[in-house]
Chain A
């Protein structure tokens, strides 16, 4: 049994398992020690010193890296500690760009909040020389402004430990330390996968998505443009957080209403294209299995994962499904099927995708994701950008009625909805592949073995006479681990789902930013995924091949899954990319 250690924190006696840090133990005592660089499970380095406590030792100690000892007496709130924390904040502020009014993170900034909580006023106590930096905005996805950076290293930990990409790090020394890529190369010159996990962990405004909101406003105001929008599954599971709704609230209907009020000419749904992806991908899987194609087949919806594969595991490119990601499929159909139906010139159509993802911004710029010189998708904005636009437009989001999506490319089944959570694509694919292989309909559609937030999930699924061995991973570090095992011959699968971000798209790099103090208590991935699984549960239709609009588009336009036309519009190819860009 775990040994329990008794100690006293601010006069409260608590018992915690051996190895617990004072910071974790303090929660049990009902005490909130301020933190800044600490991020549960991701960064525990004691570098910002904000969590200093008094244990009677010669010096104050950082609670986030201090293990408890028996009968330790900890004080977290004394005049000296409060003063020490204020001085630390003043020192950080002495080299911080304090243009808070125009900062993207104003009112959602952990540094700003600490200053307010701890009574730091103008932040000029140690005014002096400040480091000067150039803003790196060369990446289509991520912008770094080091004048705001407090060198907490949370982004470094996310990039290196969570994703095993490691294209940023602390460089230099002392006052000149900065977070950068080797040789101060732009992020766009590195093997960065654009996942944006660095953004979601940044406590301040040093990292943010490339803002494309003004471009969208510009298109919406242009009478010569027919502007079509499509939100991804995961957006509806998190957008409500930006308007004060509890995490895990599904806001599908209000989101559709808001998009319509913003002035989009058609409000379609990427969930429709998720169903379509299943039709194409399940067909591809059945074809690979029956005709001796390359296995395991690996899903291709996540552009962060795709770029990771191209840079770090190019030997697995033949394993990638040739399916474009859902929003790219939707875009391709808007500019062909929909344009034809409406008698519109595809040149006059603008497709805007609302995504939980920063990597989608890069993906949309891939030259191969286009048709006749027109990109499938013109602009990608993140969930955060959509929230900003809704606020800018003065739309009272929480007061909106629930509305539906527009016909033709807007209807979806429960299978399409769960694409936003890890395991969702696998589950959706199995529901349809079962029918494709056996000719029968599946009774129980719930493949619970592939749900949940564990890094690697495995299952063997009985499909008729076939035993289909599947694996589901989320985060690229877990993908790397799994692929290493496959490469070494230790593991053998038929089908693998990879989502580039931990927990899948619900926890994507474009989703609302959650304060470290909240992340310490709740699992974002589980809470947001619940919204999607509940929506799936509530749908009458939960299998992609039963979606009436899907049936219609094959009857009227595409012919059958993997047809010549489907291949031209809905499938793509990949590129081997170097690990170190030259």
Chain B
């Protein structure tokens, strides 16, 4: 079985589990996000057919909640905290620098598929403001000049 086929089989298992529930779309989309790392068009069409709903409905829910992404996320997901404390301590400059260094906008993934840039709500580390996370690693008390060095460690 190809990798893609195995993923759809896994999705079908999740659909079978939730199909009869009211509001099955949410848990099925969550499962799909977990399995595929995003919910691209073919996955959404598959879900619409399986749950006997419209693609518009699936797409509407998928774009309403920020936990779902339509494009695959990068190997490293960078989250720059835009909470109040981080913001007043210069988070915007940090974010701008990340965008500049990676040549990609917030919300987008770099062309090589390595990085996805996100701005996040409060990460709960206000004492370290401004803060950013790369996958599970936290970087605090950042200055924009530190950004290139940090990113270099993740670049291939």
Stretch at the interface among A160-168, A290-298, A347-355: A160-168
Smallest CB-CB separation from B58: which chain A residue?
A182
Give the distance in Å from the alpha carbon of A182 to the alpha carbon of B64 in the complex: 12
Other-chain residue from A169, A171, A172 in contact with B54 (beta carbon distance below 8 A)? A169
Min C-beta distance of B90 to chain A, whole Å: 24
Min C-beta distance of B151 to chain A, whole Å: 29
Question: Is B44 on the interface with A (CB-CB < 8 A)?
Answer: yes
Question: Is A580 on the interface with B (CB-CB < 8 A)?
Answer: yes
Question: Is B60 on the interface with A (CB-CB < 8 A)?
Answer: yes
Give the chain A neighbours of B45 by CB distance below 8 A: 580
Give the distance in Å from the alpha carbon of A456 to the alpha carbon of B63 in the complex: 36
Question: Is A341 on the interface with B (CB-CB < 8 A)?
Answer: no
Min C-beta distance of B56 to chain A, whole Å: 3
Whether B56 lies near A580 (C-beta < 8 A) is no
Interface size for A (C-beta < 8 A) is 14
Residues 36-59 of chain B: 1 if any A CB is under 8 Å from the residue's CB, otherwise 0? 000001001100000001111111
Question: Is A221 on the interface with B (CB-CB < 8 A)?
Answer: no
Instruction: Tell me which residues from 152 to 178 in chain A have a Cβ below 8 Å from any Cβ of chain B.
Output: 156, 160, 166-173
Give the distance in Å from the alpha carbon of A580 to the alpha carbon of B59 in the complex: 13
Whether A170 lies near B41 (C-beta < 8 A) is no
Give the distance in Å from the alpha carbon of A166 to the alpha carbon of B63 in the complex: 16
Give the chain A neighbours of B58 by CB distance below 8 A: 182
Whether B60 lies near A170 (C-beta < 8 A) is yes
Give the chain A neighbours of B63 by CB distance below 8 A: 171-173
Give the distance in Å from the alpha carbon of A182 to the alpha carbon of B60 in the complex: 8
Give the distance in Å from the alpha carbon of A51 to the alpha carbon of B151 in the complex: 54
Residues 87-131 of chain A: 1 if any B CB is under 8 Å from the residue's CB, otherwise 0? 000000000000000000000000000000000000000000000
Smallest CB-CB separation from B57: which chain A residue?
A169
Give the distance in Å from the alpha carbon of A160 to the alpha carbon of B64 in the complex: 18
Give the distance in Å from the alpha carbon of A169 to the alpha carbon of B64 in the complex: 11
Please judge, given known A-B contacts A160-B54, A166-B54, whether A171 and B41 are in contact too, CB under 8 Å: no
Min C-beta distance of A158 to chain B, whole Å: 13
Give the chain B neighbours of A173 by CB distance below 8 A: 63-66
Residues 168-198 of chain A: 1 if any B CB is under 8 Å from the residue's CB, otherwise 0? 1111110000000111000000000000000
Please judge, given known A-B contacts A182-B41, A580-B45, whether A172 and B56 are in contact too, CB under 8 Å: no
Give the distance in Å from the alpha carbon of A183 to the alpha carbon of B66 in the complex: 16
Give the chain B neighbours of A171 by CB distance below 8 A: 59-60, 63
Smallest CB-CB separation from A182: which chain B residue?
B59
Residues 51-82 of chain B: 1 if any A CB is under 8 Å from the residue's CB, otherwise 0? 00111111110011110001000000000000
Give the chain B neighbours of A160 by CB distance below 8 A: 54, 56-57
Give the chain B neighbours of A172 by CB distance below 8 A: 63-64
Min C-beta distance of B67 to chain A, whole Å: 12
Whether A166 lies near B56 (C-beta < 8 A) is yes
Give the distance in Å from the alpha carbon of A171 to the alpha carbon of B44 in the complex: 14
Residues 115-148 of chain B: 1 if any A CB is under 8 Å from the residue's CB, otherwise 0? 0000000000000000000000000000000000
Smallest CB-CB separation from B49: which chain A residue?
A579
Smallest CB-CB separation from A172: which chain B residue?
B63
Give the chain A neighbours of B53 by CB distance below 8 A: 166
Smallest CB-CB separation from A168: which chain B residue?
B56
Give the distance in Å from the alpha carbon of A173 to the alpha carbon of B68 in the complex: 13
Please judge, given known A-B contacts A170-B60, A172-B64, A173-B63, whether A183 and B41 are in contact too, CB under 8 Å: yes
Give the chain B neighbours of A183 by CB distance below 8 A: 41, 59, 70
> Which of B45, B55, B56 is packed against the most chain A CB atoms within 10 Å?
B56
Give the distance in Å from the alpha carbon of A169 to the alpha carbon of B44 in the complex: 14
Give the chain A neighbours of B57 by CB distance below 8 A: 160, 166, 169
Give the chain B neighbours of A169 by CB distance below 8 A: 54, 56-57, 59-60
Other-chain residue from B44, B56, B64, B70 in contact with A181 (beta carbon distance below 8 A)? B56
Min C-beta distance of B53 to chain A, whole Å: 8
> Which of B45, B54, B57, B58 is packed against the most chain A CB atoms within 10 Å?
B54
Instruction: Tell me which residues from 78 to 118 in chain B have a Cβ below 8 Å from any Cβ of chain A.
Output: none
Give the distance in Å from the alpha carbon of A188 to the alpha carbon of B44 in the complex: 20
Smallest CB-CB separation from A582: which chain B residue?
B41
Min C-beta distance of B136 to chain A, whole Å: 27
Residues 509-545 of chain A: 1 if any B CB is under 8 Å from the residue's CB, otherwise 0? 0000000000000000000000000000000000000
> Which of A166, A170, A182, A183 is packed against the most chain B CB atoms within 10 Å?
A182
Give 26 CB contacts A-B under 8 Å: A156-B56, A160-B54, A160-B56, A166-B53, A166-B54, A166-B56, A166-B57, A167-B54, A167-B55, A168-B56, A169-B54, A169-B56, A169-B57, A170-B60, A170-B64, A172-B63, A173-B63, A173-B65, A173-B66, A182-B41, A182-B56, A182-B58, A182-B59, A183-B70, A580-B45, A580-B55
Chain A interface residues (CB < 8 Å from chain B): 156, 160, 166-173, 181-183, 580
